Structure 1
Amino acid sequence: MSAFSRRSRALSGIAIAAASVLMLAGCASGSNEASKPSEDLTLKVGTVLPQTGSLAFLGPPEEAGVSLAAAEINEANAGITVDVTYGDSGDADNKAFETTVPKLLDSGVNVIVGAASSGVSKLFIDQVTGAGVLQISPANTSPDFTTWDDNNLYWRTAPSDLLQGEVLGNLIAEDGAATLGIIYLNDAYGTGLEKATKASFEAAGGKVVASESYNAGDTTFDSQIAAIVAQNPDAIEAITFDEFKTIAPALVAAGYPAEKIYLVDGNLAQYGADLPVSIEGAKGTLPGGVLSDDFTTRVNDNWVAEGNEALEDFSYAGESYDAVIVTALAALQAGSTNGVDIAAEMGSVTGPDGEMCTTFADCAALINEGKAINYDGVSSQIEFDAAGDPTKAVIGIYQYGADNKYTRID
Structure 2
Amino acid sequence: MIKTRARKFGALVVGLALVAGACGGSDDAAEEPAEEPAAEPAAETAGDGVLRLGGLLPETGNLAFLGPPEFAGVELAVAEINAAGGVNGADVEWLPGDSGDNGDVANATVDRLLAEDVDAFIGAASSGVSLTVIDKITNAGKIQFSPANTSPAFTDYADNGLYFRSAPSDVVQGAALADLMIGDGALTAAFIVMNDSYGTGLFEYTSAPYTDAGGEIVYEVIYDPQAENFDAEVSAAVEADPDAIVIIGFDETSKILTGLIEAGAGPADKMLYGSDGNMGNALAQAFDDPGVVAGMRGTVPGVDIEVNEEFIARLLEVDPDLQDFAYSGESYDAAIVIALAAIAAGDDDGVAVGAQINDVTRGGEKCTTFAACAAILADGGDIDYDGVSGPLEFIDAGEPSEASILIKEFNASGELEVVDIIFGKI
Same fold (TM over 0.5): yes
What's 2:162 paired with?
A: 153
* Amino acid aligned to 1:62: E
Would the aligned equivalents of 1:25 and 1:347 in 2 still touch at CA under 8 Å?
no
What's 1:190 paired with?
A: 199
Would the aligned equivalents of 1:168 and 1:285 in 2 still touch at CA under 8 Å?
yes
CA shift in 2, pair 1:356/1:27, >3 Å? farther
What's 1:274 paired with?
A: 286
> 2-side partners of 1:190 and 1:280: how far apart?
23
1:217 deviates by 1.1
CA shift in 2, pair 1:409/1:238, >3 Å? same
CA deviations over 1:319-348 (Å, ceiling 9, x no partner): 000000000000011000111101111122
Q: Which has the larger radius of gyration?
A: 2
Alignment gaps of 5+ in structure 2: 10-41, 421-426
Would the aligned equivalents of 1:356 and 1:374 in 2 still touch at CA under 8 Å?
yes
> 2-side partners of 1:235 and 1:312: how far apart?
29
Secondary structure at 2:319 match in 1? helix
* Amino acid aligned to 1:147: D
Would the aligned equivalents of 1:37 and 1:335 in 2 still touch at CA under 8 Å?
no
Indicate whether 1:253 and 2:267 are aligned: no
1:81 deviates by 2.2
Structure with higher RCO (Cα < 8 A, 6+ apart): 1
What's 1:241 paired with?
A: 250
Would the aligned equivalents of 2:138 and 2:163 in 1 still touch at CA under 8 Å?
yes
Q: Which has the larger displacement, 206-215 or 73-82?
A: 73-82
Would the aligned equivalents of 1:28 and 1:367 in 2 still touch at CA under 8 Å?
no
* Amino acid aligned to 1:295: F
> 1-side partners of 2:408 and 2:93: how far apart?
35
> 2-side partners of 1:129 and 1:379: how far apart?
25
1:216 deviates by 3.2
What's 2:329 paired with?
A: 318
What's 2:302 paired with?
A: 288
> 2-side partners of 1:371 and 1:28: how far apart?
11
Indicate whether 1:62 and 2:70 are aligned: yes
Would the aligned equivalents of 1:146 and 1:387 in 2 still touch at CA under 8 Å?
yes
> 2-side partners of 1:327 and 1:358: how far apart?
14
What's 1:19 paired with?
A: none
What's 1:224 paired with?
A: 233
Secondary structure at 2:96 match in 1? strand
Indicate whether 1:332 and 2:343 are aligned: yes
What's 2:51 paired with?
A: 43
1:71 to 79, 85, 95: 79
Would the aligned equivalents of 1:167 and 1:395 in 2 still touch at CA under 8 Å?
yes
> 1-side partners of 2:322 and 2:318: how far apart?
11
Indicate whether 1:297 and 2:305 are aligned: no
1:142 deviates by 0.6
Secondary structure at 1:341 match in 2? helix
1:42 deviates by 2.0
1:117 deviates by 0.3
What's 1:389 paired with?
A: 399
Would the aligned equivalents of 1:28 and 1:372 in 2 still touch at CA under 8 Å?
no
1:29 deviates by 7.0
> 1-side partners of 2:199 and 2:43: how far apart?
44
CA shift in 2, pair 1:273/1:125, >3 Å? closer
Would the aligned equivalents of 2:166 and 2:330 in 1 still touch at CA under 8 Å?
yes
| Number of aligned residues | 377
What's 1:85 paired with?
A: 95
What TM-score, normalized to structure 2? 0.85
1:371 to 373, 378, 381: 381
Secondary structure at 1:409 match in 2? strand
CA deviations over 1:144-185 (Å, ceiling 9, x no partner): 111111100000000111111110011011001110110010
> 1-side partners of 2:311 and 2:213: how far apart?
37
Indicate whether 1:265 and 2:276 are aligned: yes
> 2-side partners of 1:81 and 1:293: how far apart?
27
What is the percentage of aligned positions where both structures have the same residue? 45
**Alignment root-mean-square deviation, CA:** 1.9
CA shift in 2, pair 1:98/1:23, >3 Å? farther
CA shift in 2, pair 1:363/1:192, >3 Å? same
Q: Which has the larger displacement, 124-133 or 219-228?
A: 219-228
1:91 deviates by 0.5
What TM-score, normalized to structure 1? 0.88
* Amino acid aligned to 2:287: L
1:63 deviates by 0.4
Would the aligned equivalents of 1:275 and 1:404 in 2 still touch at CA under 8 Å?
no
Would the aligned equivalents of 1:356 and 1:375 in 2 still touch at CA under 8 Å?
yes
CA deviations over 1:264-313 (Å, ceiling 9, x no partner): 11111213442245010111111101221111111111223xxxxx2101
1:203 deviates by 1.6
Indicate whether 1:399 and 2:409 are aligned: yes
Alignment gaps of 5+ in structure 1: 1-21, 31-35, 305-309
1:80 deviates by 4.4
Would the aligned equivalents of 1:24 and 1:345 in 2 still touch at CA under 8 Å?
no
* Amino acid aligned to 1:26: R
CA deviations over 1:98-122 (Å, ceiling 9, x no partner): 2111000111000000000000000
> 2-side partners of 1:342 and 1:303: how far apart?
29
Would the aligned equivalents of 2:191 and 2:219 in 1 still touch at CA under 8 Å?
yes
Would the aligned equivalents of 1:182 and 1:211 in 2 still touch at CA under 8 Å?
yes
